[in-house]
Amino acid sequence: MDAQSISIATAAFSALTAVFAAATAFRSYLLAKSIQDDSKSDERVFIGKVSHPDLNVREHSDCVLQIPLFNKSKRKACITDLTVYDSKGKSIPVAWSDEIDNLGNVQNPGHLVGITDAQTVYIRRNDGEEFQYARILLAHSFSQSKQVIIFDPLGDFAKGQA
């Protein structure tokens, strides 16, 4: 066996090893992606029934909404943004947080709210008017799109009458 044959055989073996390494790397990538997708499949935030909180002064309760949130995942979720619209699609200026005082004033408004297991988010109208209808867009760390929440006590009443 001469030197030229050995170098051709070595080159062929190197090319074959490179193809095998590329195929193994691609298969490893697909497996890692599958594991990541499986681990994220339980990352959901469930939303409970939106209502007015029970405060000592009813007028204070009417301008505040409470949204119970439940995190199914083992990882902590974060509420990153919240916007509210009225029945005509007009934006309602609000403050929101996971804490209120006994008069319904939002404490530490607009910060990130973390949800480990369950958490209540409170929304208070800045103008002090009553919430009669609200379309709430809620953004959290488990989703690229915002979740839509509707507060419509008249609609709930009509459903109960049917």
Question: Which has more confidence, 158 or 125?
Answer: 125
Give the number of residues written for the chain: 162
Tens digit of pLDDT for each residue in 84-127? 999 999 999 999 999 998 888 888 887 778 888 899 999 999 99
H helices of the chain, in order, are 3-40, 58-62, 153-161
Question: Which has more confidence, 93 or 74?
Answer: 93
Is domain 45-161 annotated with CATH 2.30.30?
Answer: no
Q: Average pLDDT over the chain, rounded to whole?
A: 84
Please report the pLDDT score of residue 113 as a whole number: 86
Instruction: Find out whether 136 and 151 touch, Cβ atoms under 8 Å.
Output: yes
Sequence spans of domains, the chain: 1-41, 45-161
Global model pTM greater than 0.75: no
Under the banding of pLDDT at 50, 70 and 90, the label for residue 77 is confident
Q: Quick check: 39 pLDDT over 60?
A: no
Q: Quick check: 70 pLDDT over 70?
A: yes
Please report the pLDDT score of residue 93 as a whole number: 94
Tens digit of pLDDT for each residue in 10-20? 888 899 999 98
Nearest CA to 76 out of 32, 117, 108 is that of 117
131: tokens are: 């919430």
* Inter-CA distances, 37 with 31, 44, 56, Å: 10, 13, 47
Instruction: Find out whether 93 and 125 touch, Cβ atoms under 8 Å.
Output: yes
Q: Quick check: 58 pLDDT over 50?
A: yes
Nearest CA to 126 out of 112, 102, 111, 109 is that of 109
